[in-house]
Amino acid sequence: MKKLFALFVCLGILTGCATVKEAANLKNCTYSLKSVELTDVDLTSLNFVATIAITNPNKTEPAKLKRFVGVLTANDDKIADVTLTDIEIAPQSTYNAKAKFNVPTMVLSSKLIGLLTMGSGTIDYHLTGTMYFEGPMGIEIPLPVDMGRIGSYN
């Protein structure tokens, strides 16, 4: 009975250490909103692709992202909800995650629509949200992320 208990304690400690290591790997990563590109325009909606660059500086361990849930804004107007799932970033590399979304024109201000469709002016866009990595027994552990970019939409 004591051996079984000791085995469970050891497994719990190893799992806890692995969780701390994964959290550190994800925390050490840098996140940037690389681009937001307008891909299609019609009378009722605009289609975009947002590219989020995730750089893993760790020398030997990959960083594993279970999911990301966030909100994209442009010139302080909410554009869309952004979701990414199941991403693994190799050691000392950058992964460009792409999120596609459709935005009805009714939710955008007329000034922002004009800037987007004419390709003129400067649009400040910002992405805030939460990255989740998988902890022991499938529990998702949150890590808040805040990214922004100033510049043209393309």
Query: Per-residue pLDDT tens for 87-135?
Result: 898 999 999 999 898 888 776 666 566 656 655 556 677 888 888 887 7
CATH 2.60.40.10 for the 2-151 domain, yes or no: no
Q: Are 51 and 84 in contact (CB under 8 A)?
A: no
Euclidean distance between CA atoms 102 and 50, whole angstroms: 11
- pLDDT tens digits for range 6-39: 444 444 444 444 445 555 666 688 888 888 888 8
Domain boundaries, the chain: 2-151
Q: In 3-state terms, what secondary structure has residue 13?
A: helix
- pLDDT tens digits for range 54-99: 899 988 888 888 888 999 887 777 888 888 888 898 999 999 999 8
Q: Are 66 and 88 in contact (CB under 8 A)?
A: no
